[in-house]
Amino acid sequence: MNHKLRIALLGTINRDTIYTADGVTTESYGGLLYSILALAEIASSQVTIYPICNAGTDIEAVVRKKLAPYPHVKFDGIQFVSDKNPHCFLDYDTKGRKRETLHNDVPQISFSQIEPFLDCDAICFNFITGMELALETAQRVRRFATGLLLMDVHSLTLGMDEKRRRFWRVPPQWKKWMGCVDVVQMNEQEGALLAGETLDSKDATRRFAKQVLCAGPSVLMITRSNRGSETIFQNDRSDIVIDKFDPAPIAEPCDETGCGDTFLMGYTWAFLQTGNRAFASRFANRVAGINVCLRGIEGIAKISQFLTPDDLSMQDTQTGQSAVLNGILPGPERRA
């Protein structure tokens, strides 16, 4: 009998106002919704998805409406609270850089909210605000979870000034955060911040990867916008291996919002089925390549329309191993 995958997604559902460099303003809902809807679109209905978040009652009707088409997305981990929901304003320039302002807060997620999902096949931490939970909570999840743990560092690297404008800063005890998961994802700017140097060379990337991997994770993924991504790990000789993967946009990119979220969902789903980093990384780039050509959360519902049989059937060029991403593989717990 096939093993029915259970995946928990932890983060924050935002209301988003997005200003892109082409002069278009998009009013949308985002944050964790990008992850939820992307995974719901690309994954088989045999996968059960459990969002874990606190959301304001002011967006409850919207959230329920957007998730209604996906019966495999469950509300067990969502708590609607009286606080006004976070509203994020994103302003992108012509180089893809963004200025971000965050209004409103909801309570942090407690360990008791996560506890019912500790036996999921995967738990993904997606730091939409960077304030979702305490380090001690993440460390307890690390101690008791039985499945794969993944993290998108994202806004963990952001502080907030008195006007609620976000700014770059190295998060306190960042290596302890890395040690809470098996797979860490970040973009090259976030990586450079933590490394204290740009990651423009292989030597710099290796130096930084060694710091991250020695903190506990087995895989580090660095996304590099229109230059694709790198999946980094240590081989049996403890050498740092950097596997590069090309970007895969389906058209002219128009909105980078949610690309990191959808990338991690593509990786998670493909890796849980195949146990193969290369398959998962290529598929992650493909999913993000679709997302970057769509606008706002409304575009996420179109992701599956752009996936082709070639995207779902991939071959490892080094081993010749094949995989088809349209079913759930049985098997024991998989670590990255």
Residue-wise pLDDT tens digits, 255-294: 666 788 999 999 999 999 889 999 999 999 888 888 777 7
How far is the C-alpha of 167 from the C-alpha of 180, rounded, in Å?
A: 24
- On the question of pLDDT at 58 being above 80, the answer is yes
User: Residue 334: its pLDDT value, please?
Assistant: 36
Instruction: Count the Cβ atoms, other than its own, within 10 Å of residue 265.
Output: 35
- On the question of pLDDT at 302 being above 60, the answer is yes
Q: Which residues of 171-190 are buried (b: 16+ CB within 10 A; e: fewer)?
A: beebebbbbbbbbbbbbbbb
Beta bridge partners of 80: 55
Residue-wise pLDDT tens digits, 76-112: 999 999 999 999 998 988 887 889 999 999 999 999 9
pLDDT-derived band of residue 48, with 50, 70 and 90 as boundaries?
Answer: very high
User: Span 246-255, mean pLDDT?
Assistant: 69
Give percent of the chain with pLDDT exceeding 70. Answer: 88
Q: Which domains does the chain have, with CATH numbers?
A: 7-324 (3.40.1190.20)
How far is the C-alpha of 111 from the C-alpha of 333, rounded, in Å?
A: 22
The pTM assigned to this predicted structure is 0.89
Q: Which residue did the predictor score with more confidence, 289 or 68? A: 68
